[in-house]
Structure 1
Amino acid sequence: MPTRRDQRSVAAEQFLQDKQAQEEKDLKEHGQIKHVSTFRQALPQVLASTAKNLILLDLGMTVAFPTIVIPVLLNSKTGLSFSTTTASWFGSVGFICQPLGSVLSGIVLEPLGRKYSMLLVNVPHIFGWYLFYTAGSLFTLFTAMIIMGLGVGFMEAPIITYVGEISEPRFRGMLTSYAGIFVSLGFVLIYAMGNFTDWQHVAAISCSVPIITILAISQVPETPLWLLSRGRLEDAEKALCWLRGWVEPRAVRQELSEMIRYSESSQLRKPQTAQLERAAYTNKVSLDDEEKGDKNSISLPAIDKSNNDINKTSDTEKTSEFVNVDLADSSNTRQVSQINNNGINLEKRNSDSVGAHETDWKVRLKDLVRPEMLRPLGLVIGFFFFLNASGVTAMRPYFIKVFEKLDFPVSPLRSTVVFSMIQFAANILCMVTVRWTGKRPMALISLLACAIATTTTGFYTLLSGPHIPSQSGWLPFFMFVVLQFFTGYGVAPVPWMLVSEVFPFRGRSLASGVAAAASYILGFVGTKTFLGLEMTLSLGGVFLLYGSLSFIGTVFLYYTMPETEGRSLEQIEMDYKTKK
């Protein structure tokens, strides 16, 4: 009996044959495909990413919210009140809940799809903001923060996966760095509203953001790759037409056929060769070094590349030239061969399907402990450690308290707005320049600048004593400008860019989840320990600790971080695979 996967594969091949026939007919009737401008090709991908990034706007607002709550409630004499310990828990509990949200996300991401998962993540945030607005007890406040933490963890997998599956390689760097702008914008909005109204009304206003997000995401398509994995070929074609500039189907037929073949090959439990193992969709499919196909196959010419003007301006490398469908097998066992320019084909993939001999979790675990997976995982987790050790993430819930101690010449509340706007501008600059500067120089320079800023502030604080004259407050203020700028320019966005690039396709989802969970745990440790470290080391000592760790982090990245900008996912993976 043919399995459901067999039936989907046969349907996919039939779909390609039908589209091939339609392509030839359209070429005769309508001629060549009209050229589509780069702007038109990029616009729908930017719009879809913007809808997704509204979730990150809510994330930024969630992370920034404790900053305006803690100074009001810390040792308050009336109404709700935080002790120092309670405040440290309120500022950090959301981080420790996020890994659980990531696990829940992994469970529902494949069955629901990327789009519906992104819609679902807004529900806990609506509920959480409402609880903040109506909070009359510490229990309600902590319940709301736990719900928000779960929601933040839940959102990571779908938003990371979505942008990777809808974007072309040439736009991928821009679209991934574009996401950081919305996180910083969330900081700006919360801090700005905190200057004009109380934290409960800020929560009420913030409740509108996830509602708007639901409306926006409902207007964008599901990813074509997920639709193909569910056998929804027509829907995948429509989604791809939308994402490539609202073009006619024949304009995306070549890319769609490659995506179908890629989707089929990714069903393997264990690839037959290293070349197929490293195949990852970057608008190209490379299926070299596979065994020769049977002679009883019928060759169908693939879509003529000359017919697809739209792809001439893309980064697509056309490698597939024929699709061979074996019709001679009377046992209903599907055999599909894909022949590239060199006449090499791939066949009999069904015999080695996922779960044929091992349970899925064992396969995933084996994928995770491969050297080519562990090396980039160590890099990313190490980068996340030094991100949290650079100071901004750990201090954020306590910014106002820190600014008061440093005696800034600008009021603490206004300082939060100024610094968040600086980080917002840095995120924009990152998006604009990453294509030319590369991620490695950006990360090294940014972390080194953070090290200098925190070390300078630490020495200044220790040498100034317990009271810092107000006329001297400009130096630490300027150091915080440097710290916020370079955190937003390289230290914060680059590790998340790496998460979407450095892991092999096989096991990428699990590795991304592990990296994200590590980020949240490290964020929890950083925020939870800040007040305790301040009491033990003094504020100046904490800054010196952060500065020392940032210097160490710069050395760590210098020796471990490769340049990934402008390189295909296949090239990045092979670099890790060939390292000893």
Structure 2
Amino acid sequence: MRPLDKELCETEPGDRYYNYRKDFKTALPQIIAVSVKNLLILGYGMTLGFPTILIPAVSQPQDGEILHLNNTEVSWIGSINLIVVPLGCALSGVVTSPLGRRRAMQAVNLPFIIAWLLFYYSKTPVYLYAALFLTGLAGGLLEAPVLTYVAEITQPHLRGSLSATSSMCVILGVFTQFLFGTLMNWRTVALVNISFTIVAVIALFFIPESPHWLISRNRDDEARKSLQWLRGWTTEDEVDTELRDIQALFWIEEMVSHKYKWTANLSNYRERKFYIPFCLVSYSFFVGHFSGMTTLQTYAVSIFQALDAPLDKYRATLILGAVQIAGAACCVLLVRIVGKRTLTLVSTAGAGLCCLLLAAYDVYIKMYSRPHVSVSSNGVYIKMNSSLTETTNIGHSWMPTTLLMMLAFITHTGIRLLPWILIGEVFSAQTRSGASGLASAMGYIFGFITNKAYINMVDKLSIWGTYGFYGLICLTGCIVFALILPETEGKNLIDIENHFAGIKKLDNKVYRSERRKTIPESKMNDIGGMQNQSYEPDTTSL
């Protein structure tokens, strides 16, 4: 090591404080921009949580409610928005790219506003279906601008953690609906939700457009100002290097003919390094949705009522939302320590055990406490025989509620978030964009199938058969993941790509990158060509 290099690694306390302060100033605008974007994700999460409070309100309406839906109509409420999302995903890039990332995110709020108004003024099931169609379409349309915006404005060392906040905001949006459902009528909740959408539209005016998109439109001056804002409200000189690199990247892409790009892209999708990770992510979505959590989130109120929860069904749903958030937070904190593979195996095994215990409980109650059961029009509610003694049921009433809460927590520490984490790292650079959209579409399709089939499964198999089926899928998934899921935490993208291409197999160890050494201000004059301290080249796609 040269003397100068050795000196650069030995940072003095004063210089270290300066660099920490500069790092924070550089990261702050990126955090702000992503947080504003997350307001849109929060609104989308609300559309996913809203059916949970809508279903019991229209399947067992109270006095004054004009809507009363039957079994088949209720099943569409929990699933129609999910089946429309893949359509929105397919159109997302084509529809939103000409508008720009920021304007596209603002534009997709319009269908959300219309949908909430349709919910509020609903007089027939058609109103509900139209609103759900719009929320699903808008949810798919927002995927391209949201994912692309985060990737294009953030530095590589911040990109992973800031991207992970999206899943947290979706879960938080679902939780708000559980909370509002305990306080207000579902129509009032729909009206309140509009305010969040309006705030998102307004807040998006105060963050810059993606510099990548601006350069693609030959708006270099605006791109430079955007970079200055995103890198800590800094000067033109400090972003000049990054701006030139973005311009060079765009020029290289422009030099490649459309014919060559399409030919190359199609051949990449026929290779092993695409279809193996695609099958892995799709299977992760399958297990995640059939772990029992998707239907629990949608039909939570009815399920808690069916299993005689010892607390108010709406309050139990609210606690369920809080448990989901806690599980997702644990996933974010633990994944860098224990790795994705360990979290997935523990999560799927734990979910399978919870589902099987829940099924066994339902069998026990039916055999010894309430052998006479009637299923209502919504296919979920189970009525106890009043002539039976209730002492046994009261003594065990906390068991199913506890198992459902444990299921929510365990699934969100691993299998529910795993496919969304894998999407960004298991595909090659050549297929990452298209493959992510295809895999996401598969996830929403599995979600649709799960919710659509749930009521029919309860009618045919009852609660114990349904959750017994979920438990077997989870335990089978645990075995499959133990055989095929590599540990990708801390691994280079090229190593992950080589693993799925069959070139070099990954080990199952968790790699932890060392903290990036900072260069003291006093040594900057000794280094040539490093004027932009905030710039960090992105080599992940090389």
TM-score range, shorter chain: 0.7 to 0.9
**Counterpart residue identity of residue 258, structure 2:** G
Relative to the length of structure 2, the TM-score reads: 0.80
Shift of 1:84: 0.8
- Find 1:383's aligned residue among 266, 284, 300: 284
Distance 1:163 1:441, change over 3 A: farther
The answer to whether the Cα contact below 8 Å between 1:462 and 1:541 also exists between their aligned partners in 2 is no
Indicate if the aligned counterparts of 1:71 and 1:401 stay in contact, CA closer than 8 A: yes
Q: Aligned residue for 2:526?
A: none
Corresponding residue for residue 368 of structure 1: 269
Matches of 2:454 and 2:400, distance apart in 1: 18
Q: Bigger CA drift: 504-513 or 523-532?
A: 504-513
Q: Which residue of structure 2 aligns with residue 354 of structure 1?
A: 257
Aligned-partner Cα distance in 2 for 1:197–1:40: 41
Query: CA distance change for structure 1 residues 432 and 366 in 2, over 3 Å: closer, same or farther?
Result: same
Question: 1:124 offset after TM fit, Å?
Answer: 0.3
- For residues 89-121 of structure 1, give each alpha carbon's deviation from its aligned partner in whole angstroms, at most 9, with x where no partner exists: 111111111111112212123322322221111
User: What are the ranges of 5 or more consecutive residues in structure 2 without an aligned counterpart?
Assistant: 1-17, 371-383, 385-391, 505-542
Alignment of 1:128-527 (within 5 A): 128-267=115-254, 350=255, 353-356=256-259, 360=262, 363-465=264-366, 466=370, 469-527=393-451
Counterpart of 1:45?
A: 30
Contact 1:395 1:530 in 2 (8 A): no
- Cα deviation for residue 477 of structure 1 reads 1.4
In structure 2, what is the equivalent of residue 532 of structure 1?
456
SS of 1:37's partner is helix
1:289-335 Cα shifts (integer Å, max 9, x gaps): xxxxxxxxxxxxxxxxxxxxxxxxxxxxxxxxxxxxxxxxxxxxxxx
AA aligned opposite 2:270: V
**TM-aligned CA distance change 1:229 to 1:574, over 3 Å:** farther
Residues 28, 232 of structure 2: 8 Å contact kept: yes
Query: For residues 551 and 529 of structure 1, what CA distance do their matches in structure 2 show?
Result: 21
TM-score by length of 1: 0.75
| Maintained 8 Å contact 1:75/1:83 | no
Alignment partners' CA distance in 2, 1:449 and 1:518: 24
Q: Following TM superposition, by how much is the alpha carbon of 1:555 offset from its aligned partner in structure 2, in angstroms? A: 2.2
Would the alpha carbon gap of residues 230 and 578 (structure 1) be closer, same or farther in structure 2, given more than 3 Å must change? farther
Q: Give the deviation of 1:413 after TM superposition.
A: 0.3
Cα contact 1:59–1:186 (8 A) shared by 2: yes
- Summarize deviations over 1:261-316 as a string: whole Å, max 9, x none: 3334445xxxxxxxxxxxxxxxxxxxxxxxxxxxxxxxxxxxxxxxxxxxxxxxxx
Alignment of 1:89-104 (within 5 A): 89-104=76-91
Q: Does the CA-based 8 Å contact 1:400-1:413 persist in structure 2? A: yes
Whether the 8 Å CA contact 2:97–2:145 is kept in 1: the answer is no
Query: CA 1:355–1:445 in structure 2 vs 1: closer, same or farther (change >3 Å)?
Result: same
Counterpart contact for 1:389–1:526, Cα < 8 Å = yes
Distance 1:433 1:39 in 2: 24
Tell me which residue corresponds to 2:519: none
Identical pairs, percent: 34
Instruction: Write the letter of the residue equivalent to 2:358.
Output: T
- The residue identity in structure 1 corresponding to 2:398 is W
In 2, Cα distance between equivalents of 1:539 and 1:421 = 24
3-state SS in 2 of match to 1:469: helix
Amino acid at match of 2:79: S
Post-superposition Cα deviations, 1:226-281, rounded to whole Å, max 9, x if no partner, equal 333333333333222322222223333333333333334445xxxxxxxxxxxxxx
Q: Distance in 2 between matches of 1:231 and 1:88?
A: 49
Structure 2 distance, partners of 1:566, 1:217, is 33
| 1:82 partnered with 2:69 | yes
Letter in 2 for 1:248: T
How many angstroms does 1:579 deviate by?
A: 4.1
- Give 1:402's aligned amino acid: I
- Of residues 464, 472, 475, the one that matches 1:548 is 472
CA distance in 2, matches of 1:245, 1:517: 36
Q: How far did residue 159 of structure 1 move?
A: 1.6
Q: Identify if the C-alpha distance between structure 1 residues 505 and 354 changes in structure 2 by more than 3 Å, giving closer, same or farther.
A: farther
Residue-by-residue CA offset, 1:170-208 (whole Å, 9 max, x unaligned): 222311221122112112211111111110000000011
What is the rounded CA distance, in whole Å, between the counterparts of 1:397 and 1:554 in structure 2? 24
2:49 aligned with 1:64, yes or no? yes
Deviation of the 1:83 alpha carbon: 0.5
State whether residues 349 and 474 of structure 2, in contact with CA within 8 Å, keep that contact through their aligned partners in structure 1. yes
The verdict on how the C-alpha distance between 1:175 and 1:560 changes in structure 2, with shifts beyond 3 A counting, is: farther
Q: Does the 8 Å CA contact 1:115/1:217 hold for their aligned counterparts? A: yes
Q: Find the aligned partners of 2:99 and 2:271 in 1 and give their Cα distance.
A: 29
Distance 1:83 1:59 in 2: 27
The 2-side partners of 1:435 and 1:387 are apart by 21
Question: Residue in 1 aligned with 2:110?
Answer: 123
Of the three residues 61, 86, 95, the one matched with 1:108 is 95
Could you say if the C-alpha distance between residues 555 and 243 of structure 1 is closer, same or farther in structure 2, counting changes exceeding 3 Å?
farther
Give the letter for the 1:429 counterpart: C
Gaps of 5+ in 1: 1-33, 268-349
CA distance change for structure 1 residues 377 and 264 in 2, over 3 Å: closer, same or farther?
farther
SS at match of 1:490: coil
Mapped to 1, the partners of 2:494 and 2:125 lie a distance apart of 50
* Cα deviation digits, residues 122-156 of structure 1 (max 9, x gap): 11001100111111111111111111111111112
In structure 1, distance between residues paired with 2:196 and 2:435: 30
1:501 and 1:569 in contact (8 A); partners too:
yes
Deviation readout 1:421-466 (Å, 9 max, x if unpaired): 1111222233333333332222222222211211111111112215
Mapped partners of 1:129, 1:58: distance in 2: 11
Cα distance change of structure 1 residues 66 and 258 upon mapping to structure 2, 3 Å threshold: same
Distance in 2 (CA, whole Å) between partners of 1:225 and 1:410 is 52
Instruction: Indicate how the Cα distance of structure 1 residues 226 and 565 shifts in structure 2: closer, same or farther if over 3 A, else same.
Output: farther
| Contact 1:173/1:434 (<8 A) preserved | no
Of 441-450 and 408-417, more deviation after overlay is shown by 441-450
Q: Which amino acid aligns with 2:68?
A: S
Letter of the 1:154 counterpart: L
Q: Is the 8 A contact 2:42 2:172 kept in 1?
A: yes
- Relative contact order (alpha carbons < 8 A, sep ≥ 6): 1 or 2 greater? 2
How many residues align? The count is: 461
Task: Quickly say closer, same or farther: Cα 1:486–1:38, change in 2 above 3 A.
Answer: farther
Range with bigger deviation, 101-110 or 520-529: 101-110
Deviation digits for residues 345-404 of structure 1 (CA, Å, limit 9, x no counterpart): xxxxx4xx232457x4x6543332222122221111111111111111123221111111
CA 1:390–1:74 in structure 2 vs 1: closer, same or farther (change >3 Å)? same
- Structure 1 letter corresponding to 2:422: L
